[in-house]
Amino acid sequence: MFLANTAVAKRLSLLLVLLELLVVFMASCVVSAAEVDQFSRPAELVLNDSSAVIAAEVQRRMNLAIKRANRPAPHLKPRKVQRVPKQSRCSIPRLYDSMAVYLARPIVGQIESYAETVADNDGYRVALNHSIYRNFTWPQSPSLVLSERVAAVIRVGGEEVGTDKMGHFFTEGHTYFEMTKHLTLSVEEAILFGEWTESVYFGAQTTGIYSYADLVANFNGLRFWNRILALQPDPLLHSITRPYVRCEDRHWVPEARFSWVEYVDSGWNESVNCPVFRTLALLEEVLNQAPLCMKDKLPKNRYDDLEGRLFNRAGLAVMPDYLQPEVLWLQREPESLSGKTFRRIKSLRERFERWRLDKELELLESRRLEVQQALEKDQS
């Protein structure tokens, strides 16, 4: 019991330290996770469908992963002097690891990078200074403002999606798959983890934006990773689907071909499945650009009980209290969080927000002085 309590205390201490250091981290490090602006789309623009070319790149990488999985891992190669009995190939861990090597690169995924190159000819980009986020400041949105990284938009089948969703689909989807132990455990822990990432380091605390569309891409990525071997029922269809890979003569071989059709829907579109914002001030800055949230175009009766977690049917708004970090942590680790620790985490977050506001006021004062000095110089 003492060891268990010590382990919990260490985890909580680490969490608190991380929260306390978040200010330093975000001020000194530009997070590469991108946001996307699908509200500022040129009305007359017609995009070519990029689904086939990107699916072909996914399939190419899957085939490379299969080849890698069929080769013995380096540490399994027998020495010449050893007699090693033949082992059955078709190693499941080796296959999943190989797929992750080719598809689930952290920060900016391989397919996300590829989709960005496709967008050069068949997509569009909105620069930060022309986007609905143009008036965000670095204290309020450090990773977005300091990196100025706004994802491109491409057409995938009948839907327009940000290229950042490709990263969420493969990389965060893979994390979901691992967290559910390859879907032998409940999806709930993975969904909570996705909400946590949007509330903290992939969203609200770093960019000021909590993206429901990211969560839809994450969940569908979980479905993709499960379908590689289809050992568990699809968490959306609740049935076994045809796998992408099967074992034949002790080797992995391709089975079904990859297609975006079964994964992408309007829930991936940020102007349909609209984000919420960390503060009222950020929301007001966005509303000043008069964006149109087309929430009526969200899929109906597709995600069942998960719709309330994956969809924002309320439209552009301030992030609700139940998505704050301390609340989500309490749901993830209910046994480890006392009332005192809960209040401390909340207090740290609120202190951090006051620090942001102080920096914001300093920034405004600095700009005011610059304008005043420029006017005085012109008058002299």
pLDDT of residue 334: 77
Give how far the C-alpha of residue 55 lies from the chain's centroid of Cα atoms, to the nearest Å. Answer: 20
Contact indicator for 164, 115 with CB cutoff of 8 Å: no
User: Over the Cα atoms of the chain, what is R_g?
Assistant: 23
- Domain limits, the chain: 33-77+86-333
Query: In this predicted model, what pLDDT tens digit does every residue of 298-347 receive, in sequence order?
Result: 999 999 999 999 999 999 999 999 999 889 888 887 776 677 777 887 88
For 193-216, letters b (16+ CB in 10 Å) and e give: bbbbbbbbbbbbbbbbbbbbbbbb
Query: In this predicted model, what pLDDT tens digit does every residue of 306-319 receive, in sequence order?
Result: 999 999 999 999 99
Query: In this predicted model, what pLDDT tens digit does every residue of 47-81 receive, in sequence order?
Result: 999 999 999 999 999 999 999 999 987 755 555 54
Residues 6+ apart with CB under 8 A from 345: 15, 16, 19, 325, 326, 329
> In this predicted structure, which of 2-16, 28-42, 145-159, 166-180 has the lowest mean pLDDT?
2-16
pTM given for the model? 0.87
Q: Which two tokens stand for residue 163?
A: 């290229």
